[in-house]
C-alpha cells in the first residue's frame, strides 16, 4: 500500500489516494513516520499536483510542517519549482510566518530557493506573506547576494523596489563584497546597470582586500564586457580604491614595478624568490666589480710598454719612472688613461654602493641602474684592452693583427650596445606604464575635486 501511495503521489491520482485512505486511514501517517526522505506530500508538491496536495492537507493539515531529509517543507519544494497555486494554498493553509522563515539544511528559507531559481511570482507571494524572509541571511550572504550569484536580475529588481533601503542594498558578505562587487566579478552587465541606475548601491565600497568594484574589474580580461562595464562604472562615479581614499598605495605600485621588471627573467612573484633574486644579483655585481677594479688598477699602474729606465736629454718625458706611451703615443695614452679610469671609477662606485647597505638598494630599479654602470665599466675595459693590443703590435704587421682585434672588440661592443639600448627602451616602457596610471589617477582626482 505504501508503494501504491507513492505511485499515486507521482501521478497525482486523487481517486487512488481516497481508496487507499478508505482501506487504511493511517497510511499517510505510517509512510511519513517510516520515510527518511520525501513524503507523498513532498513528491506531489514537487510535481505540482494541486488537487492531490489539497486532498492530503485537508485530511492531514499538520503534514505541511513535516520536513524531509534535507529539512525542507513542502513549501520549500513548491517554491523552488515555481508552483504558484501550491504556494498560495500552503500560505493560506498554514502559519505563513513560521513556514516562510523555516530553513533547510543549507540555511535557506522558501524565499531563498524561489529567488535563486528565478520564480518571480512565487517571490511576490512569499514577500507579501512574510517580508522578514527577505532579510534572512544565509551564513553571511543576503538574498541579494544569492540572486547575483545565480544571475537573477528580475528578482533583484523586485526585491529592491519592494524594500531596497540603503542598508539592505549595501549589505556585505564574509569577504566584504556588496552586490555590485559580485556583479562585476561575474560580468553581469544587466545587473550592474540595474544597480547603478535604480539603487543607492555604493559604487566605491571596499571589500576586505581594500578593492572597489573598479579594482575588481581591472583584474579581469579586457574584452567587450570589460569596456561596457567600465563605461557604466565611470558614469556612476566609480573609481579605484586609491582614488576613493584620495591616496595612492605605494605597496601596490612597488609590487607592480617588481612584477614588470622581474617577470622577463622568469622569476616567481613571491617575496622570498624576489629577495633571493636580489641577493644573487648583488653578489654577482660585487664579484664582477671587484675583478674589473683589479684589472683597471693594474692597467693604470702598469701601462703597455712599461716605464723608462734612463734619461733622455732631448725629451722631457723620457725620464726614469715615466710611461713609455707618454713619449711614443701621447694621444693614445690619454685615451688609454681615460678608459681605464672610467672602468676603475665605475667598478668602485658599484662596490661602494653595495657595501653601504642603504635601504634603497633593495629596490629592483636601483639594481638595474647598477647593471648599467657595470656595462659602462665592462665597455671601458674592452677599449682599454684594444688600446693595449694596438700598442703592443709589432711594427712590421700592424694592419693584419690590429684589424682583427679592432673588429672583434668593436663587434662585441656593438652587441653590448644593442643589449644596453634594448634594456633602456624596456626601462622607459616600464616607467611609462607606471606613470600613465598615476597621471590618470591624478586627473580623476582633479575632476572629482573640480565638481565638488
Interacting residues of 449 by C-beta distance below 8 A, sequence separation 6+: none
Residue 307 has pLDDT above 90, yes or no: no
- pLDDT-based confidence at 335, cuts 50/70/90? confident
In 302-397, which residue ranges form alpha helices assigned H by DSSP? Answer: 324-328, 330-356, 364-392
Interacting residues of 370 by C-beta distance below 8 A, sequence separation 6+: 285, 350, 353, 354
Compute the average pLDDT of residues 2-22. 88
pLDDT of residue 251: 47
| Residue that is written with C-alpha cell 508538491 in the block | 45
Interacting residues of 131 by C-beta distance below 8 A, sequence separation 6+: 162, 163
Residue 346 has pLDDT above 70, yes or no: yes
- Per the model's pLDDT, the better-predicted residue between 398 and 127 turns out to be 127
Of 10-24, 42-56, 421-435, give the lowest mean pLDDT range: 421-435
pLDDT of residue 397: 54
* C-alpha torsion sign, points 72, 75, 81, 82: negative
Compute the average pLDDT of residues 282-294. 82
pLDDT of residue 402: 56
- pLDDT-based confidence at 357, cuts 50/70/90? low
Query: What mean pLDDT is reported for the chain?
Result: 80
- Per the model's pLDDT, the better-predicted residue between 200 and 451 turns out to be 200
pLDDT of residue 238: 80
Residue 38 has pLDDT above 70, yes or no: yes
- Domains of the chain by start residue, with CATH: 2-246 (1.25.40.20), 262-451 (no CATH)
Of 78-92, 261-275, 353-367, give the lowest mean pLDDT range: 261-275
H/E stretch holding 23: helix 14-23
CB pairs under 8 A, 24+ apart, for 37-40? 37/68, 37/69, 38/68, 38/69, 39/63, 39/66, 39/68, 40/5, 40/6, 40/8, 40/9
pLDDT of residue 142: 94
pLDDT of residue 194: 92
Highest mean pLDDT, choosing among 94-98, 212-216, 309-313, 442-446 = 212-216
| CA distance linking residue 301 with residue 61, whole number of Å | 110
- pLDDT-based confidence at 379, cuts 50/70/90? confident
pLDDT of residue 448: 61
- Per the model's pLDDT, the better-predicted residue between 32 and 213 turns out to be 213
Quick check: helix, strand or coil at residue 72? coil
pLDDT of residue 30: 85
| CA distance linking residue 89 with residue 78, whole number of Å | 10
Interacting residues of 162 by C-beta distance below 8 A, sequence separation 6+: 127, 131, 134
Residue 26 has pLDDT above 60, yes or no: yes
Query: What DSSP line would sit under 249-291, residue for residue?
Result: -HHHHHHHHHHHHHGGGT--SSHHHHHHHHHHHHHHHHHHHHH
Residue 58 has pLDDT above 50, yes or no: yes
pLDDT in tens, 360-369: 556 666 777 7
pLDDT in tens, 180-210: 999 999 999 999 999 998 888 999 899 998 8
- pLDDT-based confidence at 344, cuts 50/70/90? confident
pLDDT of residue 268: 41
Looking at the whole model, is its pTM more than 0.75? no
Name the nearest CA neighbour of 52 among 25, 79, 85, 24: 85
- Per the model's pLDDT, the better-predicted residue between 437 and 54 turns out to be 54
138 - beta bridge partners?
141
Interacting residues of 110 by C-beta distance below 8 A, sequence separation 6+: 73, 75, 76, 78, 79, 80, 87, 99, 100, 102, 126, 133
Of 83-97, 336-350, 394-408, give the lowest mean pLDDT range: 394-408
H/E stretch holding 214: helix 213-218
Quick check: helix, strand or coil at residue 138? strand
91-105 core/surface letters (b: 16 or more CB in 10 A; e: else): bebbebeebbebbbe
**Distance, first Cα to last Cα, the chain:** 77
Radius of gyration of the chain (CA): 41
- Per the model's pLDDT, the better-predicted residue between 16 and 407 turns out to be 16
What percent of the chain shows pLDDT beyond 70?
80
Compute the average pLDDT of residues 338-344. 86
Interacting residues of 99 by C-beta distance below 8 A, sequence separation 6+: 64, 65, 73, 75, 90, 91, 110
Name the nearest CA neighbour of 54 among 93, 1, 22: 93
Amino acid at each position: 500500500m505504501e508503494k501504491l501511495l507513492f505511485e499515486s503521489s507521482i501521478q497525482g491520482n486523487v481517486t487512488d489516494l481516497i481508496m487507499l485512505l478508505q482501506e487504511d486511514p493511517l497510511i499517510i501517517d505510517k509512510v511519513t513516520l517510516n520515510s527518511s526522505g520525501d513524503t507523498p506530500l513532498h513528491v506531489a508538491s514537487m510535481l505540482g499536483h494541486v488537487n492531490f496536495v489539497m486532498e492530503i492537507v485537508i485530511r492531514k493539515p499538520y503534514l505541511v510542517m513535516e520536513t524531509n531529509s534535507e529539512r525542507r517543507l513542502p513549501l520549500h519544494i513548491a517554491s523552488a519549482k515555481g508552483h504558484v497555486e501550491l504556494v498560495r494554498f500552503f500560505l493560506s493553509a498554514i502559519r505563513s510566518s513560521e513556514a516562510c522563515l523555516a530553513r533547510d539544511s543549507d540555511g535557506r528559507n522558501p524565499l531563498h530557493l524561489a529567488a535563486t531559481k528565478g520564480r518571480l511570482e512565487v517571490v511576490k507571494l512569499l514577500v507579501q506573506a512574510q517580508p522578514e524572509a527577505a532579510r534572512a541571511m544565509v551564513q553571511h550572504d543576503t538574498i541579494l547576494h544569492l540572486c547575483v550569484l545565480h544571475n537573477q536580475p528580475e528578482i533583484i529588481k523586485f526585491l529592491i523596489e519592494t524594500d531596497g533601503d540603503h542598508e539592505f542594498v549595501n549589505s556585505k558578505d564574509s569577504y566584504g563584497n556588496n552586490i555590485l562587487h559580485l556583479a562585476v566579478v561575474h560580468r553581469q552587465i544587466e545587473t550592474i546597470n540595474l544597480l547603478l541606475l535604480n539603487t543607492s548601491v555604493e559604487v566605491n565600497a571596499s571589500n576586505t582586500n581594500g578593492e572597489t568594484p573598479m579594482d575588481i574589474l581591472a583584474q579581469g580580461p579586457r574584452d567587450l564586457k570589460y569596456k561596457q562595464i567600465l563605461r557604466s562604472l565611470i558614469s556612476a562615479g566609480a573609481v579605484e580604491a586609491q582614488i576613493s581614499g584620495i591616496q595612492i598605495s605605494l605597496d601596490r605600485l612597488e609590487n607592480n614595478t617588481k612584477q614588470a621588471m622581474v617577470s622577463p627573467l622568469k622569476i616567481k612573484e613571491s617575496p622570498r624568490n624576489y629577495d633571493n633574486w636580489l641577493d644573487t644579483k648583488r653578489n654577482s655585481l660585487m664579484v664582477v666589480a671587484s675583478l674589473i677594479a683589479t684589472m683597471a688598477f693594474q692597467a693604470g699602474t702598469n701601462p703597455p710598454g712599461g716605464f723608462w729606465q734612463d734619461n733622455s736629454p732631448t725629451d722631457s718625458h723620457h725620464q726614469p719612472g715615466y710611461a713609455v706611451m707618454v713619449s711614443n703615443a701621447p694621444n693614445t695614452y690619454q685615451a688609454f688613461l681615460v678608459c681605464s679610469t672610467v672602468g676603475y671609477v665605475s667598478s668602485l662606485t658599484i662596490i661602494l654602493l653595495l657595501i653601504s647597505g642603504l635601504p634603497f638598494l633593495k629596490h629592483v630599479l636601483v639594481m638595474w641602474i647598477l647593471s648599467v654602470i657595470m656595462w659602462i665599466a665592462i665597455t671601458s675595459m674592452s677599449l682599454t684592452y684594444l688600446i693595449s693590443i694596438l700598442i703592443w703590435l709589432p711594427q712590421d704587421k700592424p694592419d693584419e693583427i690590429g684589424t682583427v682585434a679592432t673588429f672583434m672588440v668593436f663587434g662585441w661592443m656593438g652587441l653590448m650596445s644593442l643589449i644596453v639600448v634594448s634594456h633602456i627602451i624596456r626601462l622607459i616602457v616600464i616607467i611609462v606604464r607606471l606613470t600613465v596610471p598615476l597621471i590618470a589617477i591624478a586627473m580623476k582626482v582633479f575632476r572629482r575635486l573640480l565638481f565638488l
